[in-house]
Every structure is written in C-alpha cells, then in structure tokens.
Structure 1
C-alpha cells in the first residue's frame, strides 16, 4: 500500500495544471487568431465598400424581363426564372450562354431558351443602367381598413384555384389582389380571363353587392348580398 497521502500525490498534478494555464499563448497561436487581410472585390476595393447599384440595376432589368416573359407565356414568374437565379445573375452577371448555363437554377436548355428570349440583353441593359434610372419596386401595401377584406378574398382565391385546378400564383398573386383592392387598372384581375373567373366576383364583393358565406361542407361561397345584418 502506498503510504503517501492523497493530498501529496495530487499536488504535482494541480501544480502542472496551474503552470499550463498560466503559460502565455505561443506566437503561432496568436497569429492563428488574428484577423486576416480584408477580402478584396473588383479593382482591389474591399467588399464592404463596393456600391450595390450594379447588382440592383441588373436585378431590376432581369426582374422586369421575367415579368414580361411571364405575361407573354401566361406562366408564373418563378417558372420563367426562379428567384434564386435572379439573385445569382445580379451578383455575377453572365455575358454568354455558357456563363448563363452555369447559373444555379438554370440548365443548358433553359439557359439557351432564356438567352434567345432576351435575358442576356436584359443583363446588359442592367449593367448600362444609370443611377438615375434605378428605382425601388412599388409597394403593394393596402390601407389598414382593407386588410380583413384581403384576408377573406385571399382565402377565397386559394379555394377557387383548387376548384379550377390552376396554380395559385398563376391565378392571382397577393400583389394582384392588392392592386384590385386599390382599384388599379393594372391588376391582372381586372383584365382577361382572370377578370371573368375571379376579378368580377371580387369587384362585386368590394362594391357591397356580394358576400362571403360558409357552405354546408365548410367551403367559402361568394353570393349575392341580402343586406340583412345578423350581428352588429
């Protein structure tokens, strides 16, 4: 049996721990923790100093091209060009079909079709866009008093899209609905087949000529208003 008391056996360990913790960090350790040189952007300018205008300008012209293309082909904008691809193009504007094919969210065939439809022209237009032509997207906000109406109308639109077997954003986006609530003639719900299917019924609802009711199976029913209050 070892006659040495436990306290004396543990003492060297505690002393070693104290010496280890008190030892100054090596110069190599200090260098590893020191911040590196700033990342450089184009022309040797630090990233944080690069102006955002070029990327915003390309995003603006590419986004406008996408909206025109979606309207011309009657498809949701995200099917024409995914949001991820718009951001990637704005950050690293491609100038050739091969570079466009390398954009995340696009394959070779879609890139060729998009290029033939004018996407690369839209990129070039963004790169040449002056600061004065850069604009913020219009707000689709509506008055506070119309927000409950927007919620109910949005639920009915989602139900109609399911009934008609149409992709929801293709039938109507939130911006489309808000534009209709603001009585904007530019709303897609005020024109064409969308007006017939959902725009005109919604207009009657907003004019006080229609009412939303709950049907026997829990569905929303847009019907003629009886003008008979049951509460309030």
Structure 2
C-alpha cells in the first residue's frame, strides 16, 4: 500500500467525527482555529501517555483491571481532562454548555487520530482494518469526549454544583473507557457481542447529551427572537 491512502484512512474518521460534533452546535459555533489547536494538542498527549503507560506497566505489571482502568483509561482521560481544565474551562470562547462537548471531542479525537496513525504505520494494517477502527477506538474516544465535555459544560454553567460536575466530567468517561478496554481484554472470543450493544448505548446517550447541551444554550432565546423578527 502507498503511504497517502493509509494516512488518509487513519485521519479521516477523527476529522469526520469532529466535523459532526462541531456542526451540531446550533447557536454559536466555536472559533475553528481554537478547535484545531485542541485537536493538535490532543495528538501531542499521545506521546507522554505512551511513555507513562510503559512506566506504569513496568512497575505494576499488566493485569487486565489495572491496564484497563489505570494505565489506559485513567491516564488517557486524566491527561485530556487536565488539558481542558487548564486551557479551555475558563476561556472566553467557552460561553455555552455545548462548547465543552466541542472542545473535549476535539482533544479526544486528536488523541485517537494519532493513535490510529501509529497503528497504521507501525502495525500490519489495511484500509479495511482502519475503517473498522473508526467504529471502535476512534468513535470510543469521541464518545468519552462527549461525556467529559457535557459535564464540563454543566460545571461551568451550574455554579452551585461546579465541583461535583467537574469530578463527574473526569470519572464518568474514565469508567466507561475502562469498561471498554476491559471488554477487549477479557472477552477474547465473543467481545463483539458485548461491544456492539455497548457502543450503541454510548452513542444514544451521547446524542441525548448533545441535544440537552444545545437546549441549555443562553443564545437559544436570542436565536428564537431573531426568528420571530424574520417572520414578522
């Protein structure tokens, strides 16, 4: 296989999913340069994650539960969450609940895209296997990002429970990411029968969060007022 088709197949799922969630912002889309920056920073996170994962596994071994919930989910979701809290949570562009979903999806999909590129060029992969990965690891990272971003949005715009929602924004994606990894490690022969319903459930929940976050936008009433003026 030539390099370009493999590279495009590795990159396309992440870009497509990010475009989908970006365009789902109904009221005030985010600055594209900031979304792209978070996507690229998500890619950068892969490198420290690999180094730390190897260190953790060398020190504590490679047990299924430890690998799933600490070395993989805990580390990866923790790095994404830390980046978002430090760079986006108080940013002026984060001005409606849905913005958390956009930026968290950007970081998560940047991470997943570089993972996919490594898989494409360091493993024995085909175009079909890369497209299959779009259903599992890439969309999995996207869905964990939606969870994280949804609760970051609730934390920012629900002041009396900000601490609680900040904790949930880290712990909930960590939990589901850990479950996802554990299924792949434990269910050697029948993992697909578990994974397909799991992914469908996570997609349904994610789309519900997308809808609810948009409904809580402070710009919703402004948009409705503009529509009324146009009708008049």
- TM-score with structure 2 length normalisation? 0.23
The structure carrying a bigger helix percent of its residues is 2
Q: Which has the larger radius of gyration?
A: 1
Structure number with greater CO (CA < 8 Å, separation at least 6) is 2
- TM-score with structure 1 length normalisation? 0.23
